[in-house]
Structure 1
Amino acid sequence: WYDILTGYTSVASMKLKQWMIKDFYLNRGFPFADVTHGITNDVLQYNISEGYLDEIRFTGNRKISRTELISALDIDTDGVYFHSLGQAKVNNLHKKLSNTNDLFKSVGDWQVQSEGGKNILIVEIKERSLIKPGWFPIVGYNRVHGVALGAGGTLNTRYINAEKLFGSVSIGMSSKILNYHVGIENSFFKRIPLTLGVGLFKLTDYSFGDLRLRPSEISLSDSFYGTSADNYFQRQGQHFWTAYKFGQYSQLRLEYTLDTHTNLFKSTNWSYLQSGLIKLGNPRIDTGSLRMVSFKYTFDTRVHKSRLDSAENLASQMILRPNERTRRGWRGYFGVEITGRFLGGDLTYNVYNFELARYNPLIGLHNLNLRIVGDFADAPLPRQRLLYLGGSKSLRGYSFNSFAGDRRIMLNVEHRIADEISIDTGTDAYLGWALSTFMDIGRIWEYDDNIFADFTFKEIKSSVGIGFTIYVSPLGSPYPITNVFDFSIPITSDSALRKPKLFWRLERMF
C-alpha cells in the first residue's frame, strides 16, 4: 500500500511513509493517531498509536453534575478513540438525559483537541432555564358580567423538582366582579409521576357538569343572539389535589374542595342581534358552603387528541375535548363526588358518573362513533348542580336545558363520513369535511323515582338528525378550527314539540 520495500531507502522516504500512515488514520476518523519510526539492527519499524483520550471536559452544565454526564456518556478512556465512537456516545448521552433529567435541553457543539500534551473531548451541554413563563389573554361575554377581560399565565420552575405556578385574573366590565384562580403544584419524585397541589379561587361557574360548551361558544351565543345556554353562580374557596399519571394519557386524580356558592345576577341586556330581546335572568341557586372529595380516573387512547390547558383548567386536571380528526380509539372517565355528611358544609349529596366514547373506523371514509354518559345522585342535587338534557352537547332535537333532574343516562350514536386533504398555507395544514347522521337518546329523572315501576317510552327522549362539518387543522395542532352545523328533530308523539333545531358549534360534539 505504501510501497515499503527492503533494501536501500532514504531518511526522507521513511518520513514520507510515516506521514502517509498517519494521514491514513486521520482520514478514517482517528484524530489522535500518531506514528513514529526507528531503525534497530537494520530493521525499519513503524510504531502506531491509534489514539486515546486523556480527558473529558463538559461546558455549559451548571445544574447537571459531571458525574451524571460521565455516566451518560459512558466512554472508555482506556480504549482507542475514533470519531464514529464519539458520535455514537454523544448521541447516547443526549437520548439518555432527555429521558432521565428534566434540566437537560440538548447537546450543543462537541469536538476533540490536543492541549498541553493531552487529548481532550469537549462536549457543550445546554440546560433548560429554571424559570419558564407563559401567558394568555381572557376575553368573554355573558349576561352576568357583560364583557369579561383579563389574563392568565403559568410559571414553570425547577428549584425543588418541577414546580408549576399558575394563575388568572379577570373582571366583568358590567358586573365589576373580579375573579381569580392561583395555585402551585409540584412533582416531588423524579421516578414517580405523582403531583401534589394547592390553589385559591374566586370563579364564575356554570351548571353544565362535564357536558360543557366551549367558552367561546357561550360568548358568541350570548353576544350575538342574546340566547343563553348557561346558568351562572359564584364559587370562592380553596382546593387541594394529588394526581398520578399512567403514561401520558391516563390519570387518577383525588381532590378536596372547600368553597362557598353564592348567587349572581344579570347585569346586561345587550346583544348584537335581537337587541330588543329582554335576556333571561340568571336563576337562583342553593347557596351555602360545600365540602367535597372527588375521585376520577381519566383515559384517552384516541389517535388525535385535544385537551384544555388554560390556567382555569390546570390543577393537574386532564380535561379531554373532541377532535375533528379522531378516527379510532377510546376516551372517557369514571368518577365519584362525595359532599357533606362527615365532611361538613351546607350541601350534602354524592354523585357517581362516567363517560365513554368509542371511535370505530369502518370501510373507507366511514366511521361509527358511540358515546354513553351516566350521572347518578343519591340525594336531591342543589339547583346549581342539577343535571340537564337538551342542546348541542346532549339531545340535539331539544332546546338547552329542556329536562332537568338528579340522575341521567344518555347514548349518542353517529355514522360519519369524513375526509381531509393536505394544504400548503406557509405552515402545513389539513382541510377536512364530514357528513354525519346521528341519533341521541336520553332519560333524566329524580333521585327517588323508580324508573322501572311505571315505565313508558314517553319518558325516553330522543332525536335524529344530520350534520355537516368543515375544519382546518394546522400540522401538529391539537385544536382544529371547526364549524359544525347540526339539523335535528325530536322523536315524539307530541306535534307541538316536533320542531326542528339547527345548532351551529365551534367544536365536534364528542
Structure 2
Amino acid sequence: MLKQINLLFLIILIAVNFSSIQAQDELIVPIKKIEKKAKEKYFKNSDAKVFRYENDTTIENERELDGNLLVVKGDLKIAGRINGNVLVLMGDVHILPKAYVNGDVVCVNGKIFQDEESTVTGNQIETKVKNLFPYRAWEEEYFASHRSSGEESCRIPYSMVPAKSGRKSVILNYNRVQGLFLGIKIPKKISGKYKYINVHGFLGYGFKEKRWRYQLEIDRWFFNPREYRFELGWKTYDLVDTHDDWLISPWENTLSAMLLHKDFQDYYRRKGYEFFVGQNIGRHLKARFGYRSDRYRSVLKNTDWSLFYGKRKFRENPLIEPGRMRSLYGEVELDTRNDLDVPKKGFLVRISGESSNSKLRSDFSFNQYEIELRHYRRLSRFDRLDLRIKAATSEGTVPLQKLYQLGGISTLRGFGFKEVRGGADQFGGDRMLLANLEYNISPEILDFDFLFFDDLRYIIFFDAGNVWQRTQVSGQDSWSAGFDHLKWKDLKSDFGLGITSWSGRFRLNIARRLDTGKKPLAITVRLIKPF
C-alpha cells in the first residue's frame, strides 16, 4: 500500500512540475502535427508538388522550382524562382535580390525579410504555431504539458516578444531542507500595454521546514514594450535560496532528490527587499541595475526521505556566513539565441557585477564580477558546435554563499559533484574559469539508416576549468590579481560522449577525467540541456 501511495505521489509530482512549466510561456508542440496543420491551411488549394527540406536551405539563383516549397526547422534563403507557395516552420525567410516567388510566403514562428529588388506575387504572412489550431484544441491538447516530449520547442524569449497574459500555476518542489514544498505562483505578465502595472510572485509552505515562504514583486513598464521597454520595480521576499540554479533547474533537482536520493543544490535563507530598473534596447540587448537589502541565515537538512535508495542519506546542508548584506548590482545581456532552453544558433553575452561595503551599512565588503559567453554555431545541416566560457573574479572578502565550486553536472562532467573547490580544505573559490565545448552531430551525416537511432543525436564534449582563492597565489586585492600563475596544467579537464534526443533536452553523458587514469567513468542523465 505504501509503495502505491509513493507511486501516486510521484505521478502527481511529475504532472504538476510539467504543468507549471507552461506558465513560463513555453509552447511545446510535436513538429509533425505543426507540419500537418500548416500544410492543410496554406497548401489546401494547391495540387502542386511539394518540395520538402529540413534545416537551413538555400534556393540558388540559377534554380527554379515548379511547385510548393516547405522548409522545416531551418532558415530559407531564396535567390532563384519558385512557382508556388512557400511555407517555413521554425525559421526565417530571406528573399534575396532578383528572387521571384509566384505565390504566397508563410513563416510560422519566424520572420520574413524581403529585399526590395525581389518579387512576391502573393501574400506574406508571419504567424505563430498556436494560430494553426482551434482555441479549444490548443488549450486541451497542445499547450505545453509535454515539456519532456522531446519534440520541437516553440519558445519565445521573454525579452523579445510580449505575451498577453500569464497563468496561475502550482509550485511543487522537493529538497532536503524544506522537504515537500507546495505553493501557488502568479507568473509575470508580459503585456503589450506599456502602462500596465504588473503584480506577481508566489506563496508556499515547506512541510519539513514548517515555514511559509513568499515573494511579491510589483513593476511597471514604460515606452515601447517590445523594442525599448523601460521597467521600474520593487520586490520583497523570504526565500530558501540557492547559488546553484545555473547547475540544475529546480524541477530537475526535485526529481533527482525524490527518485535518486541526490540533492544537487545547497541552500540558505534570504529575506529582504530590492529596487531595480531595467532597459531593453531593441529585441536582444537589455540591462538591469538595482539595490538589494538581504538578511542571510543558514538552514539545516530536515529530511532524508526518498522514494528509492532509502538507505542513502542526503548531504548535510553547508553553513554560510550570516548577516545583513546591502549591495548594488548590475547586469548587461546581449542575447540572439533562437531558443532559451535548447538553442541551436545565436549567441549570449552576459556581464554582471555586485558591490557590497560598509558605506551601504552592510556586514560584508566585496565586489564580485562575472562574464559569460555562449555561442551556437551550425556547421551544416547535420552538425553544430556549442561553446560556453564563464569566468568570475572579485575584490575584498567574498562570503561563503557567494563562492564557486565546479564538478559534476553542467560544469566538469568527469568529476564528482562540487569536487573542484580550490583545495580539499576550501569551501570554494573567489576566482573561476570554465569552458565547455560540444560537437553535436546527426547520424544523417553518414547518409544511411540507423533504424530508430536516426531520432537521436550524438555529442562529443570537452570541459576544462578550475576555481581558487586569490590569497593562495597573490597578495594584491584587485579584480585582475590571481590569474598570472595560471598554466594549462592548473586546469581540470575531462572528455566524454553523449547521446541526446533530437530536441537536445534528454541526454546520457559518459565522461572521463584527463588528469588521472584511476578514476572511474562518470555517467549522468540530464533532462535539460546544460547550457
TM range (shorter): 0.5 to 0.7
Alignment match, 1:366:
383
2:184 pairs, out of 151, 162, 165, with 151
1:270 maps to 2:294: no
Q: CA deviation at 1:254?
A: 0.3
Alignment match, 1:331:
348
Q: CA deviation at 1:341?
A: 3.2
Q: CA deviation at 1:155?
A: 7.2
Q: Secondary structure of the residue that 2:295 maps to in structure 1?
A: strand
Paired letter, 2:318: P
Alignment match, 1:293:
328
Alignment match, 1:394:
411
1:329 & 1:132 partners in 2: Cα distance? 27
Structure 1 residues 85-484: aligned runs within 5 Å: 134-154=167-187, 161-189=195-223, 193-208=229-244, 211-302=246-337, 304-306=338-340, 322-323=341-342, 326-404=343-421, 405-418=429-442, 433-448=456-471, 449-450=473-474, 457-471=488-502, 482-484=505-507
Paired letter, 1:176: K
Q: CA deviation at 1:161?
A: 1.0
Alignment match, 2:521:
500
Paired letter, 1:459: D
Q: CA deviation at 1:198?
A: 0.4
2:496 & 2:193 partners in 1: Cα distance? 55
2:363 & 2:194 partners in 1: Cα distance? 38
Q: Name the CA shift for 1:236/1:432 in 2 (closer, same or farther; >3 Å).
A: farther
Residues 385 and 440, structure 2, Cα contact 8 Å, conserved in 1: yes
1:487 maps to 2:520: no
Q: CA deviation at 1:295?
A: 0.7
Q: Secondary structure of the residue that 2:167 maps to in structure 1?
A: strand
More strand as a share of residues: 1
Runs of at least 5 residues in structure 2 that lack an aligned partner in the other structure:
1-163, 422-428, 445-453, 475-481
Q: Name the CA shift for 1:177/1:416 in 2 (closer, same or farther; >3 Å).
A: same
Runs of at least 5 residues in structure 1 that lack an aligned partner in the other structure:
1-130, 307-321, 421-430, 473-479
Alignment match, 1:15:
none
TM-score when normalising by structure 2: 0.61
Q: Name the CA shift for 1:188/1:271 in 2 (closer, same or farther; >3 Å).
A: same
2:409 & 2:308 partners in 1: Cα distance? 20
Paired letter, 2:221: S
Q: CA deviation at 1:230?
A: 1.3
1:199 & 1:180 partners in 2: Cα distance? 11
- What is the percentage of aligned positions where both structures have the same residue? 26
Count of residue pairs brought into register by the alignment? 342
Q: Secondary structure of the residue that 1:213 maps to in structure 2?
A: coil
1:134 & 1:359 partners in 2: Cα distance? 31
1:352 & 1:220 partners in 2: Cα distance? 32
2:349 & 2:185 partners in 1: Cα distance? 28
TM-score when normalising by structure 1: 0.63
Q: CA deviation at 1:261?
A: 0.5
Q: Secondary structure of the residue that 1:378 maps to in structure 2?
A: strand
Q: CA deviation at 1:413?
A: 1.1
Q: Secondary structure of the residue that 1:175 maps to in structure 2?
A: coil
CA RMSD for the aligned pairs?
Answer: 2.5
Q: Secondary structure of the residue that 1:218 maps to in structure 2?
A: helix
1:419 & 1:256 partners in 2: Cα distance? 50
Residues 355 and 373, structure 1, Cα contact 8 Å, conserved in 2: yes
| Bigger-Rg structure (1/2) | 1
